């Protein structure tokens, strides 16, 4: 505790309080395959009865593609799954749900889910919920067709395909994956044909490529999206992402990185942090400079360790949207909310 207080003081007195962005927002957030994917989705959405949007729970208020409202979902029932709940605290979930619903009344349900876990209770509840919403919706005129179609949308790498595979395994008790999953953005490139995930009720899901928000004006949002690996690292650059995360950890009191990286105290400068960590862990590499062999810190290797440590939850559970969480609620009728969370006791990683 004493150590923690000393670190907080150090950060408060001598570290940068605000973040100056070394990169600007004139980035290509929207690669070519996303244009194609969006067009395909717009063609197929005509047959769809409900939209399930998946987003990363670490950034509940940042980086959702709000243009989906105009391009895809319209007035169809819309469920938002905040996935990767194993990486965020169990506190504040009710407040987050309320704030999202207040800001975006088109959303019928918000759930926290952990699709990496076999029997996630929130995921088990999602199909019955969607079916109920569809049957209660006055747009449901399917001429007696018994099957229901749901499209799964969201930005890249948030777990859309994992959720489809999980639901299929849960309801049909089949092994294997119907749609490919991967730990980098852009794994699903095309809108898939319908994937049957349940026979009773008869439900088909459509997997789609992750589509980012076309313009990102707020660079905090861009950096958070990059930190959660919803963009390829090269779009921003690994070193810049590390630097942003280091600033975020220090200014928000998340000091778990210090032990993980083999450091003694908080570091303000990202290059210095990576160099000290490389030396402490023996992560050095030999380079040849003008015919002279030199041993230098393996900056890229250590930056990868830092980024993947965060992405795997090795620095503890927290939101990257803590500042938005502090904003007051418009009204706080929390007790009226239906909250479906993954309340299991899984550990932070
Ligand atoms: N920690 C954690 N990881 C998850 C969870 N769900 C999915 N993942 C991982 O997140 C990564 C992306 O999963 P995908 O299902 O491929 O994500 P996607 O949204 O389909 O990605 P694109 O097709 O690239 O848009 C994979 O490494 C999954 O194992 C979760 O609940 N928690
Ligand atoms: Mg996918």
Could you tell me the CATH number of the domain that includes residue 210? 3.40.50.300
Q: Can you tell me which atom of ligand 1 is nearest the CA of 117?
A: 31
**Residue bearing the bigger pLDDT, 195 or 33:** 195
Atom 30 in ligand 1: residue holding the nearest Cα? 84
Ligand 1 atom closest to residue 312's alpha carbon, by position in its atom list: 1
For residue 309, how far is its CA from the centre of ligand 2 (angstroms)? 22
Q: Give the model's pLDDT for residue 28.
A: 67
Q: Are residues 287 and 158 in the same domain?
A: no
Q: Are 18 and 54 contained in the same domain?
A: no
Atom of ligand 1 nearest to the CA of 85: 31
Nearest residue to 73 (alpha-carbon basis) of 29, 104, 35, 36: 104
**Span from the CA of 211 to the centroid of ligand 1 (angstroms):** 14
Give the domain range for residue 259: 2-24+216-326
Q: Residue 342: which pLDDT band, with cuts at 50, 70 and 90?
A: very low
Give the residue whose CA is nearest to atom 1 of ligand 1: 84
- Domain check: are 128 and 271 in the same one? no
Nearest residue to 152 via CA among 130, 133, 171, 169: 130
Q: Report pTM.
A: 0.91
Say yes or no to pLDDT of 92 above 80: yes
> Would you state the pLDDT for residue 27?
64
Question: Confidence band (pLDDT; 50, 70, 90) for 12?
Answer: very high
pLDDT of residue 29: 67
Structure tokens at 146: 């018994």
Mean of the per-residue pLDDT values for the chain?
A: 88
**Atom 16 of ligand 1, nearest CA residue:** 181
Residue ranges around ligand 1 (CB below 6 Å): 83-84, 86-87, 114-116, 154, 156-162, 181-183, 185-188, 209-210
Mutate which of 159, 168, 169 for ligand 1 pocket (most atoms within 8 A of beta carbon): 159
- The total of structural domains in the chain comes to 2
Q: Which residues contact 177 (CB under 8 A, 6 or more apart)?
A: 161, 165
Q: Is it the case that residue 86 has pLDDT exceeding 60?
A: yes
Q: Give backbone dihedrals phi and psi of 156, rounded to 5 degrees, phi first.
A: -65, 150
Least confident of 43-47, 91-95, 100-104, 120-124: 43-47
- pLDDT band at residue 297, thresholds of 50, 70 and 90? very high
Phi, psi (5° rounding) for residue 55? -140, 165
* Domain presence at residue 339: no
Distances (CA, A) of 347 to 7, 26, 90, 96, 334: 26, 39, 11, 21, 27
Say which range, 66-80, 222-236, 240-254, has the weakest mean pLDDT.
66-80
Residues 140 and 38 in one domain: yes
Residues 268 and 255 in one domain: yes
What is the pLDDT at residue 102?
92
225 and 169, same structural domain? no
Q: Please give the Cα distance from 39 to 180 (Å, whole number).
A: 21
Of ligand 1's atoms, which has the minimum distance to the CA of residue 183?
Answer: 27
Does a structural domain hold residue 306? yes
Distance CA 323, CA 12 (A): 17
Strand-strand pairing, 292-297 and 202-206: unpaired
Residue nearest to ligand 1 atom 26, measured at CA: 183
Q: CB neighbours of 273 closer than 8 A, spacing ≥ 6?
A: 242, 246, 261, 263, 267, 306
The residue nearest atom 23 of ligand 1, judged by CA position, is 188
The pLDDT, as a whole number, for residue 2 is 86
Quick one: which ligand is closest to 231's CA? 1
Q: Which of 41, 182, 309 to mutate to test the pocket of ligand 1 (most atoms within 8 A of CB)?
A: 182
Q: Does residue 141 form part of some domain?
A: yes
204 plus 64 within the same structural domain: yes
């Amino acid at each position: 505790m004493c150590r923690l207080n000393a670190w907080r003081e150090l950060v408060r007195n001598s570290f940068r309080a605000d973040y100056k962005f070394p990169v600007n927002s004139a980035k290509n957030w929207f690669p070519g395959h996303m244009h194609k994917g969006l067009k395909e989705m717009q063609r197929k959405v005509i047959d769809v009865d409900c939209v399930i949007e998946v987003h990363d729970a670490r950034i509940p208020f940042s980086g959702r593609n709000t243009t989906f409202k105009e391009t895809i979902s319209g007035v169809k029932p819309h469920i938002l799954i905040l996935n990767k709940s194993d990486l965020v605290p169990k506190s504040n979930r009710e407040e987050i749900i309320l704030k999202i619903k207040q800001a975006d009344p088109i959303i019928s349900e918000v759930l926290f889910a952990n699709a990496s876990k076999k029997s996630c209770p929130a995921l088990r509840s999602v199909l019955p919920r969607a079916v109920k919403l569809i049957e209660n919706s006055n747009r449901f005129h399917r001429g007696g067709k018994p099957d229901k179609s749901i499209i799964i949308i969201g930005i890249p790498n948030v777990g859309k395909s994992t959720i489809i595979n999980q639901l299929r395994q849960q309801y049909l008790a089949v092994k294997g994956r119907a749609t490919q999953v991967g730990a980098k953005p852009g794994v699903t490139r095309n809108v898939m044909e319908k994937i049957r995930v349940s026979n009773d009720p008869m439900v088909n899901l459509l997997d789609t490529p992750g589509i980012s928000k076309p313009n990102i004006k707020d660079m905090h949002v861009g950096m958070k999206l990059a930190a959660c690996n919803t963009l390829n690292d090269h779009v921003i650059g690994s070193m810049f992402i590390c630097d942003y995360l280091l600033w975020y950890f220090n200014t928000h009191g998340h000091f778990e990185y210090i032990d993980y990286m083999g450091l003694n105290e908080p570091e303000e400068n990202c290059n210095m942090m990576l160099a000290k960590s490389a030396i402490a862990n023996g992560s050095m590499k030999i380079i040849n400079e003008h015919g002279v062999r030199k041993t230098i810190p393996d900056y890229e290797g250590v930056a990868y360790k830092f980024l993947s440590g965060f992405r795997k939850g090795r620095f503890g559970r927290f939101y990257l949207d803590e500042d938005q969480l502090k904003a007051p609620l418009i009204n706080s009728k929390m007790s009226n909310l239906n909250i479906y969370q993954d309340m299991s006791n899984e550990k932070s990683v």
